[in-house]
Amino acid sequence: MGRYLDIAGFKSRTIMPPADVDRIIRSRFERNTADAGASTAMPETKFGEVVVTGVVLSILAVFAAAITHDAANYATLTVYKRTAGGAPTAIGSLSTQTADIPAGVPVAFTIASDTITAEDALTLAIVKSGTGVIVPAVAVDVRPSPNYVEAASDREQAYLEARLRKRYDIPFDKDGRVVPEAVLRWLEALVTRACYGRRGFNPTSEQDAEIILTRATTAEAEIKEASDSETGLFDLPLSQGAVPDVSGVTQAFPLSYSEQSPYVAFDRQVCDGQQEDSQGRGRGS
């Protein structure tokens, strides 16, 4: 069906700070200085590479200073994709020709072609028209989908489902059902480990090991336990091979026996004794 853990869901659950999540779901161009002059252009410059084939959701630029628009003298920023040996194809562009650009506020590029392919290079060029305009320091973020977090979520979800498919009703969101909290907890722990593996962390840190590695290892062990369990220790819907939409937990109940008559026990004792005499042995338990 669908992806159990999207970007918003992952951000709300993971211990990874949201800013760090953003860093690994985007490709960023960053220039910390302004143009030397109004006519100074910037040649096409590589700043990233596509990891997973997909589409570009948005391209946002943030400028360190405001730019006043001018119909004749302006700058155009263009993001391109480039395959090996191929000509650049414009993905999106932003011009200072028709509207003022504020400082410190994300401004969206106009998307021209949103399709991107794994291993495409991402480049940025700034060209000037007329006498041009000084472009201040700028950061440009290209946000693709799927990105690394989404790809990691899909990969770990496939692993989780493969482990649990024989016993439980997969996918867990079938027919609009709510994905069980246990499944989301396992998935978050596995994706968090994958994301920290890409971002980097200190493997010798006891705290890092506890909150990143141990949680993921525990999730893997619990997933295995859930898949191997015969008595059902996790409250997940059973597969169609059993009874659909029924919990995998086996509910135990106490066994009891009662007698109202004070004489019945002696009668039962006589019967049991006669049975043991005929068998030549006592009863097993």
132 and 1 fall within a common domain:
no
- Whether 165 is covered by a domain: the verdict is yes
The pLDDT, as a whole number, for residue 84 is 73
- Whether 71 is covered by a domain: the verdict is yes
- Whether 280 is covered by a domain: the verdict is no
- Which of 95, 119, 145 represents a domain boundary (last residue)? 145
Q: What is the pLDDT of residues 57-111, one digit of tens each?
A: 999 999 999 999 999 999 999 999 998 778 899 999 999 999 999 999 999 999 9
The pLDDT, as a whole number, for residue 251 is 47
Q: Which domain holds residue 19?
A: 1-25+147-239
The pLDDT, as a whole number, for residue 253 is 47
- Whether 202 is covered by a domain: the verdict is yes
141 and 31 fall within a common domain:
yes
3-state secondary structure the chain: CCCCCCHHHHHHHCCCCHHHHHHHCCEEEEECCCCCCCCCCEEEEEEEECCCCEEEEEEEEEECCCECCCCCCEEEEEEEEECCCCCCEEEEEEECCCCCECCCCCEECEECCCEECCCCEEEEEEEEECCCCCCCCEEEEEEEECCHHHHHHHHHHHHHHHHHCCCECCCCCHHHCCCCHHHHHHHHHHHHHHHHHHHCCCCCCHHHHHHHHHHHHHHHHHHHHHHHCCCCCCCCEECCCCCCCCECCCCCCCCCCCCCCCCHHHHHHHHHHHHHHHHCCCCCC
Ranges under pLDDT 50 in the chain = 242-245, 249-253, 285
Counting the structural domains of the chain, the total is: 2
**Which CATH number does the domain housing residue 105 bear?**
2.60.120
58 and 75 fall within a common domain:
yes
